[in-house]
Amino acid sequence: MNKKFHFLDDGGEMGRLMREKNWSSTPLGPPDGWPQSLRTTINILLNSPFPMFLFWGDRLKGFYNDAYRPILGTEGKHPTILGLNGKAAWAEIWEDIKPMLEVVTKKGESIWRENLMIPIFRNGRMEDVYWTFSYSPVKDEEGKVSGVLVIVTETTEAVLAERRLKESERRFREMANLSPVWIWITDKEINIEYANLALLNYVGVENEADFTGQVWVDVVHPDDLDVVFKGFGKAVEDKSDFTLEYRVKRKKTGNYEWFKVLGVPKFEEGEMVGFIGTGMNIDKQKSFADELKREVDIRTKELADSNDKLEAMNKELQSFAYISSHDLQEPLRKIQMFAEVLMENEFDKLSTSGKAKFEKIQNAANRMQSLINDLLSYSRTDTEKRVYEVIDLKELVDDVKNDLAEELKKKHGNITLLQSCEIEVVPFQFRQLMYNLLSNAVKYSKNDVSPNVTINTEIITNAKSVDISLKNIKEYVRITITDNGIGFEEQFAEKIFEVFQRLHSKQEYVGTGIGLAIVKKIVQNHNGVISAKGILNEGSVFEIVMPKMQ
């Protein structure tokens, strides 16, 4: 190429291809014979950063720049269409672009098209491509239109993105309108830009454009307007989320219902442009909550009344305990003392019937004394201060066995502790528990069988499987007391722990019916549980499960 053709200097790849092409073999001839208008236009084209294509002459031969080159893709028209006739270069779309080219070449008019879909062959296949372009006439030295300059931008991605956005918006509106929940969008002044059908139908507005700020004033309960204005106002000021509860009038009924309205700010390029939010009808929940509150208030008052009554009963119980421990015991001791004096000094003077009556008096007084002592023990298990200590169960059992030595000797009985352990208890209470259980085992033995009582202990960690009130995170001790006594029927397994429950008459076995109730209360004081099993005339098993350490 002759270097004097400076209009082809530079121009990147397309400038090089134009310089290297053998134009002599084309109807245009060598560049030195090209008209000045063509040279000037090509020079502008090659140095433009904007995509340009030039159709030149009667055959509309093609020229294009580096900025236009990517539009042609790969495995397509480049570089064969350089200098090629327009009809041959663009055969697949010639019928589409020919009329537009003729408007320019024949009438000398410029045309403009935006986002027009014109498919082209590129990347080895036909592709649907969207273009925004202008066709402008290029006149030669005589003022005749000799070419068409095309300035073009491919807008395929923008068009498809807009379509996707519109489709997304269409789907959003479709789903939102099917939702029973209010869905709304506002601008930053809280003017409604979008409201779904649920919201529009509720407040009686047909078009979103009619949903002005006055609508809220008309439909929000007057007592709640201040809540709404302050809530939205603070959200705008702080550019923050908000949650409000207020009453809104239903257009069809005129009734106000409670709604929970939530909103979050939406931002574009760092600037808050409005809010998007929802509204949910919570009228039933509110009604339920109000009813629940009324019920709670009623139950709280009833509980307070019950507590007052219970406190009064506790005072009465304390009075009773005082009377039992002082006022009742004093005359009872006098009855026992005088009865004993009479039995010692006057017994021989009494008739057989009188002797029997005095023995009954003594027995009744002794039973009365036992009953008073047991009642005091039962009441003290709740009121006395609990001081826990770690004890060795063997020492406590040995102590109780010493107390029961006479009874054991008399009945040829035996108490055996198979395995001891250390356990944290209130010592005097736990001693009473063991005494009551072991003395019962000896007392309720069969006439012809020596009582044999076995005590065993076991550490367990899955206490919840025994009783759901217990916890697996603590170590528990299972204490099992087994005897071979008279037993009891299974139907009485729970009943025997109730106060004054006796399964046998006082003529058969002496007792007050309080001993096992005291045992149960002591176990509960130690955060444990107790259960009993029995087989009539075969024996009983008492099982205590309680924390090893409190």
484 with 454, same domain: the answer is yes
User: Tens of pLDDT along 273-296?
Assistant: 999 999 999 988 888 877 778 888
Are 71 and 152 in contact by the 8 Å Cβ rule? The answer is yes
Buried-state track 446-484, b at ≥16 Cβ within 10 A, e below 16: eeeeebbbbbebeebeebeebeeebeeeeebbbbebbbb
pLDDT value of position 318: 60
* Residue finishing a domain among 263, 281, 299: 281
Output the pTM of the full model: 0.44
Q: What is the pLDDT of residue 506?
A: 45
pLDDT at residue 353, as a whole number:
81
The residue ranges of the chain whose pLDDT is under 50 are: 1-3, 500, 502, 504-512
Q: Which domain holds residue 201?
A: 179-281
Same domain, 135 and 244: no
Establish if 293 belongs to a structural domain: no
- Helices assigned H by DSSP within 404-514: 405-411, 427-443
In angstroms, the CA 229 to CA 236 distance is: 11
What is the pLDDT, as a whole number, of residue 507?
Answer: 43
Per residue in 320-368, pLDDT tens? 655 655 566 667 777 777 777 777 777 777 788 877 777 777 776 766 6
pLDDT score of 499: 56
Residues 400 and 540 in one domain: yes
pLDDT computed for residue 295 by the predictor: 80
185 token code pair: 């969008």
Residues 146 and 199 in one domain: no
476 vs 423: CA distance, rounded Å: 9
The per-residue pLDDT for 343 is: 73
pLDDT at 117: 94
Name the domain count of the chain.
Answer: 3
Domain membership flag for residue 96:
yes
pLDDT at 470: 87
Are 92 and 221 within one domain? no
| Same domain (yes/no): 222, 113 | no
Q: Say if residue 21 is in the same domain as residue 114.
A: yes
